[in-house]
Amino acid sequence: MGSLFPEEIIEEVKDRNDIVDVISNYITVKTMGSSHKALCPFHREKTPSFIINSEKQIYKCFGCGVGGDVIHFIMKIENLDFIDAVKVLANKANIPIDKLSISKEDKVQLQKKAQLYEVNKAAAKFFYLNLYKNGLSALDYLKQRGLKSNIIKGFGLGYSLNNWDSLLNYLLKLGYEEKIIYEAGLIVPRKDNSGYYDRFRNRIMFPIFDTRGNVIGFGGRVTDEGLPKYLNSPETPIFNKSNTLYGLNIARKNIDEGKIIIVEGYMDVIALNQHGFKNCVATLGTSLTKGHALLLKKYCQEVITSFDGDEAGVNATIRSLDILKEVGLTPKVSILPNNIDPDDFININGKFEFKEQIEKAIGLIDYRLYLAKKSYDPSTSEGKIKYVKELASIIKGIKSPVEREVYIQKVEKEAGVSKESIYLEIYGKKPYKAFNKNQKYTSISKRDNKYIEAITPVEQKGHIIAEKQLIKAMLTKKELIPLFNEKINIEEFSTTEYQWIFEYLLANYEVIDGVDTLMDKLPQLQEILKDIWLTNIEHIDIEKALEKYVVNLKKYRLLYQIKELQQQQNNLLKDKKLNKEEVEKELLRIGMEIMKLNTDIQKLQL
């Protein structure tokens, strides 16, 4: 879309929406001079730390750190994007939509979308009325599935009549043109081009809403043995299955502890809502996509999948977990007994049993281990071998050394196989020596951080000393560890041994009490830990040293990039297959990149 909201419109929206008045519609606000105080709506607290400044028209919570202007507040409290938040506030201030400056092409598209929303809304009303007038068998089916009248109304469930053109004729009488009804996906052209017929016939109808509550499409379910069992609207300018989640319009306002539950079907979402679980969504007959995952990320941090336990459900679960993890969400799996689906489970066992199942949800690795245990019989020698090999393969793919160690210990306990054997299976002989307690410690990995290669031996030595100082500070000043976590990435340590220690401290610093405790937890690293503990840091301002360390790391990266580019230049000069013009052009391009990197280094040193 074009420039939908010019700056002057945005400023007018903010000017005509006093932030105190807007926020007061959502929470109780107490006046304190020019400022106002309240309990933060975005985290649990007993003492108010949420401050609103009426002069500056901003808010800030000194408990959780969230803050911004009136638009940001509406985005946060309503789980809306920027455009929709501006629209909400424009509506509150009676600012007409036609004041928005948009191109003619965009205006045509907006008008078309508005027509599609209207015709879908009219169709949804038609289906809903049919359910009670002419769809008694469909209504009986829904009630047999345990749905109450208020939930049927809340989700706008309906019924499409068992004839060819009832919806088409209804919409035509309301004044809608065939073209817009077709573009909404509600009718299908006849093969002989003599007209259109209704897409949905003799089906229970599930309106599909966007996050603003507009009807954007439909799903239809047969009540008999007809096929297909479910039929969805086709893709339209306002409906895309790969970026739409059923129930998200409700779930986004009912996020529970940053979690959303994702299930397979419409009935699962509706049944869970009826029992109080309003933070649940479903895909629309498709596998979870990256688009779905990114959409979920706007509203939550953790996603719990609760799919059917059959083979198709298992495969869908694994794919979903990988996609969710890829976009930075925390994926978990709720495993319901006997492969039952959430709809049936909650109707049979009730909401408390379902809540218990959700609370027992497990992570991606645990789920893979669970599936491996189901696939093999550890009570037999052959089964145990296959089981442990499968687990070793899974653990090998874990990037975090600490996480890997935890799962190795778990497999050791569950499978009854020694830790040394598991290490051997995962890494081969070389790492086994590193963890053999009867031998002197040897490096787990010979690979140093590649960026260190770009600096002189003297600088390398200084870098190693800095790493030791930082780890010593983590052991003696635990309150600084969150700051270290914010400033440093694990990959920035020059050796795998330091990476292990750094990540272990990040994960366990609250229970680590000095170097002795750490050496007990990581006996294979005792010699290195002793060396670190002897490092003197009394004369060092650790916070300042940390800033310098971060700057140096950035410099080393840039130096390494320069080194690689210079190697590319050397390779070009040696390549006799390229003509002179190509070489000169490429050398010039690389030279410009090197100049830019050198400039970046100079900026760091200012």
Query: Could you tell me the pLDDT band of residue 539, with boundaries at 50, 70 and 90?
Result: confident
Query: Could you tell me the pLDDT band of residue 316, with boundaries at 50, 70 and 90?
Result: confident
pLDDT tens-digit series, residues 398-411:
777 677 778 888 88
pLDDT at position 85: 86
CA distance from start to end of the chain = 42
Q: Is the pLDDT of residue 355 over 90?
A: yes
Q: Is the pLDDT of residue 164 over 80?
A: yes
Q: Is pLDDT larger for residue 153 or for residue 444?
A: 153
User: Which CATH architecture describes the domain 243-368?
Assistant: 3-Layer(aba) Sandwich (3.40)
- Contact call for residues 73 and 59 (beta carbons, < 8 A): yes
Q: What Cα–Cα distance (Å) separates residue 190 from each residue in 165, 198, 201, 410?
A: 11, 10, 15, 62
Other CB atoms within 10 Å distance of the CB of residue 395: 23
Burial class (CB in 10 A: 0-12, 13-18, 19+), 63: middle
CA 505 to chain centre: 26
For residues 92-108, average pLDDT: 68
> Cβ neighbours of residue 270 under 8 Å, at least 6 residues apart?
147, 151, 155, 157, 343
Mean pLDDT of the chain: 83
pLDDT at position 340: 87
pLDDT at position 33: 65
Query: Could you tell me the pLDDT band of residue 221, with boundaries at 50, 70 and 90?
Result: very high
DSSP 480-534: GHHHHHHH--GGGSSSHHHHHHHHHHHHHTTT--HHHHHHHH-GGGHHHHHHHHT
Q: Is the pLDDT of residue 26 over 50?
A: yes
Q: What are phi and psi of 188, to 5 degrees?
A: -125, 140
Query: Could you tell me the pLDDT band of residue 427, with boundaries at 50, 70 and 90?
Result: low
- Contact call for residues 555 and 492 (beta carbons, < 8 A): no
At 552, list the tokens.
Answer: 């140096």
Q: Is the pLDDT of residue 496 over 80?
A: no
Other CB atoms within 10 Å distance of the CB of residue 483: 13
pLDDT at position 508: 76
Residue type, 137: S
CATH superfamily of 7-99: Zinc finger, CHC2-typedomain (3.90.580.10)
Q: Is pLDDT larger for residue 354 or for residue 547?
A: 354
Which CATH code fits 106-239?
A: 3.90.980.10
Query: Could you tell me the pLDDT band of residue 150, with boundaries at 50, 70 and 90?
Result: very high
**Cα separation, 211 vs 228, whole angstroms:** 27
* Model confidence pTM above 0.85: no
pLDDT at position 247: 96
Which CATH code fits 448-606?
A: 1.10.860
Domain ranges of the chain: 7-99, 106-239, 243-368, 376-435, 448-606
Point out the least confidently predicted range of 257-271, 291-305, 315-329, 418-432.
Answer: 418-432
Residue type, 87: K
